[in-house]
Amino acid sequence: MSILNIGAFGWPLLPELTDLKPLISYFKESFSNGRAEAARVPTRSMIIKQSPFSAFGAMPAYCPNSNLFITKVATLVVNGEKKGNSVNAIVNVFDGTTGQPLALLDGAQLTNLKCAAVSAMVTDICASDDANKMALIGCGTQAWQQVLAVMAVRPIHQIRLYGRTASNTLVFAKRIEEKFGSNIEVLMPASVTDTVSNADIICTATTSRLPLFSNVKLTDHVHVNCMGAHTCDSREVPNTLLQSAHVIVEDLDTAVAEAGELHRDALTLTKMLTFDRNKLKNTATVFSSVGHGYLDLLVTAYLLQQSQNP
């Protein structure tokens, strides 16, 4: 029996992808030309365990346009004493015609790339063109994808960080400065309220099952990327914001099933691309992400395409 070494495939790590824009364009094209509707993406199968919280999932997707069938198998284990990544995943890739296996990919890395690209696409459509103040709650792996995403599409001059510990926040701030230089002002406010106040773009990437802020005056045009924990009853943002803002989701059925009825009238990514952009850019918008297998398939197709045409 041969064992495939995930690292042997040599996909570039996300920080080495100096330009997300080709992948963002690939996403926009796919959601604009009907490919998303042609794909078949069943509801993911989940096993949830409590104390400590763990989630084990399988996410299949098939797209005739890409001629690919993939299944991402992922685990999320929240344990403060556990070393290593809290999210681990593998993506199995098969040819849609022959059924032959094509690749075994590092699913965690693919997920990071997916989250950065889709967040960048939504931010580009929804955030005001001159947005330059970003607030970020969370200092983990997904928070870093939000930095890469927003920096790819907006002229950010200031980033306000809030993390669980001062030490983690400081390390994250230094990482931003090393990546983007001293032109970015990085602040570390003492409270979440001070972090999000007057921000043009707010990104949340935490495991919190309760709203991270409430009763805070946000800018009228604020755009929020809500990327962290969610249940049918709660998100990282208050329900009042979900009720008053234009909400964007990857897939409506998945969002309602996993994040609740407040998402029933949300715009899907496909509908967002045809919606009045001036209205989106000048009103509050929330990308309430729960993930979707079609996005994993898009990134897989893009990576395979790049490997064949370097």
Burial of 97 (0-12, 13-18, 19+ CB in 10 A): exposed
Say if residue 3's pLDDT is above 70. Answer: no
Q: Are residues 119 and 139 in the same domain?
A: yes
pLDDT of residue 184: 94
pLDDT of residue 48: 86
Domain contains 80: yes
pLDDT of residue 238: 94
Q: Are residues 279 and 203 in the same domain?
A: yes
Q: Are residues 156 and 227 in the same domain?
A: yes
> Mean pLDDT across the stretch 121-129?
98
Say if residue 161's pLDDT is above 90. Answer: yes
What angle, rounded to 10 degrees, do the helices at 293-308 and 21-32 form?
120
Q: pLDDT tens-digit profile of 263-304?
A: 999 999 999 999 999 999 999 999 999 989 999 999 999 988
Say if residue 182's pLDDT is above 90. Answer: no
User: Which of 80, 78, 196 is CA-nearest to residue 137?
Assistant: 196
Domain contains 219: yes
Owning domain of residue 94: 41-110+294-304
CB atoms within 10 A of CB 251: 22
pLDDT of residue 10: 45
Burial of 236 (0-12, 13-18, 19+ CB in 10 A): buried
Q: Are residues 93 and 125 in the same domain?
A: no
Say if residue 258's pLDDT is above 90. Answer: no
Q: pLDDT tens-digit profile of 88-116?
A: 889 999 999 999 999 888 888 899 999 99
Say if residue 128's pLDDT is above 70. Answer: yes
State the Cα angle at 298 between 293 and 304, rounded to 5°.
Answer: 125
Q: Are residues 97 and 226 in the same domain?
A: no
Say if residue 2's pLDDT is above 50. Answer: no
CB atoms within 10 A of CB 47: 10
Q: Are residues 163 and 182 in the same domain?
A: yes
Please tell me the least confidently modeled range out of 14-28, 104-118, 176-190.
14-28
Q: Are residues 204 and 281 in the same domain?
A: yes
The backbone torsions φ and ψ at residue 157, rounded to the nearest 5 degrees and listed phi first, read -105, -25
Q: The CATH number of the domain where 87 resides is what?
A: 3.30.1780.10
Beta bridge partners of 13: none
pLDDT of residue 79: 66
Mean pLDDT of the chain: 89
Domain contains 310: no
Say if residue 9's pLDDT is above 60. Answer: no
Secondary structure, 3-state, 232-283:
CCCCCCCHHHHHHCEEEECCHHHHHHHHCHHHCCCEEHHHHCCCCHHHHHHC
Q: Are residues 90 and 119 in the same domain?
A: no
Write the DSSP assignment of 40-84 as a string of letters: B-PPPEEEEETTTTEEEEEEEEEETTTTEEEEEEEEEE--TT--S
Cβ proximity of 90 and 106 under 8 Å: yes
Domain contains 19: no
Q: pLDDT tens-digit profile of 33-62?
A: 888 889 999 988 989 888 777 889 999 999
Domain contains 17: no
Q: Are residues 224 and 267 in the same domain?
A: yes
Q: Which of helix, strand or coil describes residue 295? A: helix
Widest CA span in the chain: 60
Say if residue 155's pLDDT is above 50. Answer: yes
> Mean pLDDT across the stretch 166-187?
95
Cβ proximity of 139 and 161 under 8 Å: yes
> Mean pLDDT across the stretch 129-141?
97
Domain contains 145: yes
Q: Are residues 84 and 188 in the same domain?
A: no
Distance CA 14, CA 106 (A): 12
The pTM of the whole model exceeds 0.95: no
pLDDT of residue 4: 45
Q: pLDDT tens-digit profile of 71-90?
A: 999 988 876 555 667 778 89
Say if residue 13's pLDDT is above 70. Answer: no
Question: What is the 8-class DSSP label of residue 32?
Answer: H
Q: Are residues 74 and 175 in the same domain?
A: no
Q: Of 118 and 230, which is predicted with more confidence? A: 118
Say if residue 15's pLDDT is above 70. Answer: no
Q: Are residues 228 and 80 in the same domain?
A: no
> Mean pLDDT across the stretch 132-160?
97
What angle, rounded to 10 degrees, do the helices at 107-126 and 21-32 form?
70
> Mean pLDDT across the stretch 148-174?
97
Query: Residue 27: CB partners within 8 Å, gap ≥ 6?
Result: 117, 118, 121, 295, 298
Residue type, 272: M
Radius of gyration of the chain (CA): 19
* CA torsion angle 289 15 123 161 (round to 10): 80
Total number of domains in the chain: 2
Q: The CATH number of the domain where 148 resides is what?
A: 3.40.50.720
